[in-house]
Chains A and B, each alone.
Chain A
Amino acid sequence: MPDYGQFQSAGGTLDTRWFLLVASILFVLGAIGVLVRRNPIVILVCIELMLNAVNLTLIAFSRQLNNLEGQLFALMTMVVAASEAVVGLAVLVDIFHFRDVEDVDELNELRG
């Protein structure tokens, strides 16, 4: 098990756990946002927040473990997050073309 101790930065030492804590709070906030917010665009923003929370986790671990794979992973995640935003906005704009969807519960044509 790696040691989750402190790492040196220019201004002194910082505990990795603080970064992990902030990241987990951001992730939970994003997840709650997806579950309670109704506007599809806001949900998309919340998903991006979750992905960025993971990026913070990855970079904190990368620095802690002195291993570059985490930073590589974070770079890849940014690319993926950007593509997801593009596709997401394209799909939603396509829907807004026909009608205004301010609440995801209005997307209720498909039922069984």
Chain B
Amino acid sequence: MNGLQLAATAAVDYPPSQAFGDLSQIAPIATLAVAMIVAILADAVLPFPRRGPVVMAISAAGLVVAFAFAFGSWLQGGGHSAYFGFVTGDNFALYFEMLFSVLGLMTLVVSHAYVRRRGLYEAELHILTLAALVGMMALAAATSLVTVFVALETLSLALYVATGYSRRDTTSQEAAAKYLLIGGFASAFVLYGMALVYGASGSTLLPEINKAITANQASNPILILGVVMLAVGFSFKISGAPFHQWTPDVYQGAPLPVTAFMSVGTKAAAFAMIIRVFGSGLANVSTEWQVLLAFVAVLSMVVGNLAAIVQSSVKRLLAYSGIAQGGYMLVGVIAGGRDGVAAVLFYLAAYVFMNFGAFAVLTVLVDRRGEHDQLDDLTGLGYRNQPLGILMTVFMLSLAGFPPLVGFIGKFFLFRAAVAGGWTWLVVIAVLASVISVAYYLRVVYHVWTPSAEQAHLRRMPGPLVAVLASGILALILGVFPTLILVAGLTGAAPVLVAAGH
């Protein structure tokens, strides 16, 4: 009998001390949720010109406090599960909470500059970003299928709206509609998979599921169908091939800061979910989901890299590159174990900075007429603004996996873990695929450093420049001193493994 049944049958005994202890485990998430509500109220009562800056200040304060809570708990060795085992504040969750706080701060400054230049409303975009961040953090902290699903939908619903934020653009609207219909379809698959896993195991709590499902249950058709449904739904969410078709359209149509934010945020949150649900909840049927994920990984790496070569829009190019990068990370998930999970955590942090930085560079090119995301628009960027050109080169080379940048180290950890786990054939495909990827990443670099007739200096945009610079410096530092994040990744991986070691 688990906690929930006890609470339902006996009189509920929930003393204030336990309520406080539970709340402290989700302090970063709760902080952001409160900040979001305060921001909504501020947006409703303040006079128009002050709404944007005040909401941005509230959001930034919330993110800083959330980071502080997560970091404080991290320094104390991590938290434990709370609310009858439905969420947890363990190191795995804290790692992602810190990562998402940093991502949120970078998104704020880029969004701020973007809405100013495009003449859009500011406050709502920050509020939607906060809502999505609450969902992302909750997804990393969720240890029950119920909370996983609710968190997944929290982040998805906020992002559907954010995608259609630029309401005057028919492309933005179209992207929102596509994202919504396909995202809803995928959510239904995830949900059905969860229902079947619940039916087969008798619990929605991941540790209970892990205990209930033993290896000889692999023939239970309900369980297998559930695992397949979950794999399909998860693949939609990480835009893994063959469920990736929505990604380029949505990334291209969404406003740039939203694209930058969701391309890394959704991916990181979805990988946290996959590691939790598959790695710790369904660890005993790992052979089944490993095969499914290996299929998705191979297809993502091949399709993503080949399709990226022929793109003329940098947003679409980065969308296909993201599909391929998701494939590399799946290799680490499949490898599993301490090294595999830590490698995925490390690569996710690296990916957040590389990819966000690349999108932030594009933000600098935005003007009143719209976004300029064609490859030709980048021509001569290195001469118009040298630091920006250099940083864009760093991001592209890092995504391609050139040493000594962080992308190389990240791939090295991923592939080493996979070889150690006996997935050599998968690594061979991954390495070949990343060789193909060099072609299109270098194409961007080539455009950046091709002289062009356009010599006008770019208007200064402090916000994106700060984000670009921070991302670039992190990409360099982490490439040279990877242990900083790798140790954190290993610490973050530990709680998920304790559960899987059954």
* Interface of A toward B, CB cutoff 8 Å: 1-2, 20, 27, 30-31, 34, 40, 43-44, 47, 50-51, 53-54, 57-58, 60-61, 64-65, 67-70, 72-73, 76-77, 79-80, 83-84, 87-88, 90-92, 94-95, 98-99, 101, 104, 107, 109-112
Question: Is the CB–CB distance between A107 and B178 below 8 Å?
Answer: yes
Question: Is the CB–CB distance between B180 and A91 below 8 Å?
Answer: yes
Verify if B469 is at the interface (C-beta below 8 Å from A).
no
Question: With the chains together, A83 CA to B183 CA distance in Å?
Answer: 13
Bitwise, B147-161 to A at CB < 8 A (1) or not (0) is 001100100010011
Question: Is the CB–CB distance between B191 and A54 below 8 Å?
Answer: yes
Query: Which of these binds chain A: B48-56, B165-173, B275-283, B397-405?
Result: B165-173
Question: With the chains together, A73 CA to B195 CA distance in Å?
Answer: 9
Q: Which residues of A contact B335 (CB under 8 A)?
A: none
Question: Is the CB–CB distance between A94 and B167 below 8 Å?
Answer: yes
Q: When the two chains form the complex, which single residue of A47, A70, A109 contacts B198, counting CB atoms closer than 8 Å?
A: A70
* Interface of B toward A, CB cutoff 8 Å: 2, 4-5, 8, 144-146, 149-150, 153, 157, 160-161, 164, 167, 170-171, 173-178, 180-181, 184-185, 187-188, 191-192, 194-196, 198-200, 202-205, 217, 220, 248-249, 252-253, 307, 310-313, 316
Residue among A31, A88, A98 facing the most chain B CB atoms (10 A cut-off): A88
Closest residue of chain A to B214 (Cβ to Cβ) is A1
Question: With the chains together, A67 CA to B194 CA distance in Å?
Answer: 15
Question: Is the CB–CB distance between A58 and B4 below 8 Å?
Answer: no
Question: Is the CB–CB distance between B199 and A110 below 8 Å?
Answer: no
**19 CB-based A-B contacts, threshold 8 Å:** A2-B202, A31-B185, A40-B177, A44-B181, A47-B185, A51-B188, A53-B192, A61-B195, A64-B199, A65-B202, A69-B205, A73-B195, A73-B204, A77-B149, A84-B187, A91-B180, A94-B167, A95-B174, A110-B174
Q: Which residues of B contact A64 (CB under 8 A)?
A: 199
Q: Which residues of A contact B176 (CB under 8 A)?
A: 91, 94
User: A47-B185, A73-B146 known; A95 and B199 CB under 8 Å?
Assistant: no
Question: With the chains together, A40 CA to B185 CA distance in Å?
Answer: 12
Q: Which residues of B contact A43 (CB under 8 A)?
A: 181
Closest residue of chain A to B225 (Cβ to Cβ) is A24
Question: Is the CB–CB distance between A68 and B4 below 8 Å?
Answer: yes
* A-B pairs with lowest CB-CB distance, top 6: A50-B188, A61-B199, A110-B249, A47-B184, A57-B195, A112-B316
Question: Is the CB–CB distance between A58 and B195 below 8 Å?
Answer: yes
User: A47-B181, A73-B198 known; A95 and B173 CB under 8 Å?
Assistant: yes
Q: Give, as a whole number of angstroms, the nearest-CB distance from A57 to chain B.
A: 4
Question: Is the CB–CB distance between A107 and B188 below 8 Å?
Answer: no
Closest residue of chain A to B145 (Cβ to Cβ) is A73
User: A30-B188, A68-B4, A83-B157 known; A94 and B173 CB under 8 Å?
Assistant: yes
Q: Which residues of A contact B175 (CB under 8 A)?
A: 110
Q: When the two chains form the complex, which single residue of B145, B174, B181, B307 contacts A109, counting CB atoms closer than 8 Å?
A: B174
Question: Is the CB–CB distance between A107 and B174 below 8 Å?
Answer: yes
Question: Is the CB–CB distance between A57 and B313 below 8 Å?
Answer: no
Question: Is the CB–CB distance between A107 and B177 below 8 Å?
Answer: yes
Question: Is the CB–CB distance between B188 and A88 below 8 Å?
Answer: no
Please report whether the interface of chain A is mostly helix, strand, loop or mixed according to DSSP: helix
Question: Is the CB–CB distance between A98 and B164 below 8 Å?
Answer: no
Question: Is the CB–CB distance between B149 and A34 below 8 Å?
Answer: no
Closest residue of chain A to B195 (Cβ to Cβ) is A57
Q: Give, as a whole number of angstroms, the nearest-CB distance from B121 to chain A.
A: 14
Question: Is the CB–CB distance between A112 and B311 below 8 Å?
Answer: yes
Question: Is the CB–CB distance between A67 and B174 below 8 Å?
Answer: no
Question: Is the CB–CB distance between B5 and A34 below 8 Å?
Answer: no
Question: With the chains together, A50 CA to B229 CA distance in Å?
Answer: 13
Question: With the chains together, A40 CA to B178 CA distance in Å?
Answer: 9
User: A43-B181, A84-B153, A110-B252 known; A69 and B174 CB under 8 Å?
Assistant: no
Q: Which residues of B contact A68 (CB under 8 A)?
A: 4-5, 8
Question: Is the CB–CB distance between B191 and A51 below 8 Å?
Answer: yes
Question: With the chains together, A76 CA to B204 CA distance in Å?
Answer: 13
Question: With the chains together, A70 CA to B198 CA distance in Å?
Answer: 8
Q: Which residues of B contact A60 (CB under 8 A)?
A: 199
Closest residue of chain A to B250 (Cβ to Cβ) is A110
User: A61-B199, A91-B176 known; A76 and B149 CB under 8 Å?
Assistant: yes
User: A27-B192, A73-B198, A94-B167 known; A88 and B180 CB under 8 Å?
Assistant: yes
Further pairs besides A76-B146, A110-B252, A112-B313: 19, Cβ < 8 Å? A1-B220, A20-B199, A27-B188, A44-B181, A47-B185, A53-B192, A58-B198, A69-B2, A69-B205, A73-B204, A84-B153, A84-B157, A84-B187, A87-B180, A91-B160, A91-B164, A107-B178, A109-B170, A110-B248
Q: Give, as a whole number of angstroms, the nearest-CB distance from B183 to chain A.
A: 9
Q: Which residues of B contact A58 (CB under 8 A)?
A: 195, 198
Question: With the chains together, A101 CA to B175 CA distance in Å?
Answer: 14
User: A54-B192, A65-B202, A91-B173 known; A76 and B150 CB under 8 Å?
Assistant: yes
Question: Is the CB–CB distance between A61 and B198 below 8 Å?
Answer: yes
Q: Which residues of B contact A57 (CB under 8 A)?
A: 192, 195-196, 199
Q: Which residues of A contact B144 (CB under 8 A)?
A: 69
Q: Which residues of B contact A61 (CB under 8 A)?
A: 195, 198-199
